Structure 1
Amino acid sequence: MTHSTKTQTIEWSTGSWTHPPAAERTDGTTLIVSAIEGSDAWRHTSYGFVHDSEHALVAPLKPGSAIEVSFIASFDQQFDQAGAFLRIDETKWIKAGVEFADGQLQLGAVVTNGKSDWSVAPVPEWSGRKVTVRASLASESVTIRARVDDEPFRLVRVAPFGPDEDIKAGPFCCAPTRSGLEVQFLSWIVTDADGSLH
């Protein structure tokens, strides 16, 4: 995998919320978001319900670009989650990041095109550390990678996405089962898309 070292920091004030959180504040360059209890993004599969209440701070993302969202993964309640969100509309979107599920932190992605699918892998050693999620947008697909601290990025998912549709992307968080979740987002940057898959 190769990508440009040119990066542009996106100001928190640039984005617009898909659904406003309970509260947000900045502390220096850090954005601290308080999630609403019951917030989530999911459509139909297995559970039968539609949840469209995630807190995603999004701005336009063009093919040939990538976003990287960094945050502290301090989660300890079922389905606490944060990462990067890519949205075309309410039925076509992707959320990728880490989520506390079944007693430990999980790295994964939900890809939704009418109905959601979910893939995860355990990363308990990432708990309490800086996690960066990278979403690289090509003309007809998105490649999701993630890392902890300054370790190498690992591949999470390659999925069809687009083409020829307006895409918005940025950081997100949800708290499906509890109140009081605060997420510290450290940075939101845009850079060139990955030069290759491997």
Structure 2
Amino acid sequence: MTQHISWQKGSWSTEPKSSSETDSHLVVEAVKGSDYWQKTMYGFQHDNGHSLLIPWDTGQSMEVTFMFEGFSELYDQAGIMLWHSPNQWIKAGIEINDGVPHIGAVVTDEFSDWSLFPLPANWSEKKVTIRASMYKDAVIIRARAQDSHWHTIRVARFPYSEGNHAGPFLCAPTSDAFKVTFTNWVINDPDEDIHTDPPITEI
């Protein structure tokens, strides 16, 4: 059963530059230099991205929907954050890399990895939904544009049965004016399995 989540129910991990509700949407501006990353390749550690989190029952799925617009600077990013601790988390969504919008995920367990692929061209200027659902000791992450089917973008280990939080996130590592309009935040039933697409929630 679909449960819509009020923006007021979440707590920011780090306060954004600004946030406001307009027509039931949440418009958020990121602080320049905000990011999440742990050590791998670059050596640095960042944990000052903006995540609006609620407790996440791993017997449920979560979906975050936002407008794909305004992404322009290197590493502008938004999507869903799955948070267990400062050293165990997953972020998934859209990110600008070398001028090209990509969809991907960063999975962190002490160290961060990064997987991504170019965003389908027909997703431009549309609403994008990122979905996460626990399955055994893993999480299945899917994405879709408003008029497309689900695409599985990552299956990652996430074995934490309690103490989890999740919700929308955005970061602006290089941009000083990055805004994202989040349009929907819902809890749904979990995925049946990796090969069965979940139902589509109207966005």
Q: What TM-score, normalized to structure 2? A: 0.93
User: Shift of residue 73 of structure 1?
Assistant: 1.4
**Deviation of the 1:129 alpha carbon:** 1.5
1:5-154 residue pairs with structure 2 within 5 A? 6-74=1-69, 75-123=71-119, 125=121, 126-154=123-151
Contact 2:51 2:168 (8 Å CA) reproduced:
yes
Question: 1:129-148 deviations in whole A, cap 9, x for unaligned?
Answer: 11000001234211000011
- Contact in 2 for aligned 1:37/1:180 (Cα 8 Å): yes
Contact 2:58 2:161 in 1 (8 A): no
Q: Partner of 1:194: helix, strand, or coil?
A: coil
Percent identity between the two aligned chains = 45
Amino acid at match of 1:167: N
State how many pairs are aligned. Answer: 193
- 1:156-171 alignment runs, 5 A limit: 156-171=153-168
Secondary structure of 1:135's aligned partner: strand
Find the counterpart in structure 1 of residue 201 from structure 2: none
Are 1:63 and 1:139, in contact at CA under 8 Å, matched by a contact in 2?
A: no
Distance of 1:124 and 1:157 partners within structure 2:
16
For residues 56 and 126 of structure 2, the distance between their equivalents in structure 1, rounded to whole angstroms, comes to: 27
Letter in 2 for 1:79: Y
Q: CA deviation at 1:41?
A: 0.3
Q: Secondary structure at the match of 1:13?
A: helix
Contact persistence 1:62–1:137 (CA under 8 A): no
Q: CA RMSD in A?
A: 1.0
Evaluate the alpha carbon distance shift between residue 22 and residue 31 of structure 1 in structure 2; reply closer, same or farther with a 3 A threshold: same
Partners of 1:129 and 1:55 lie apart in 2 by: 22
List runs of 5+ in structure 2 lacking aligned partners: 196-203
Structure 1 unmatched ranges of 5 or more = 1-5
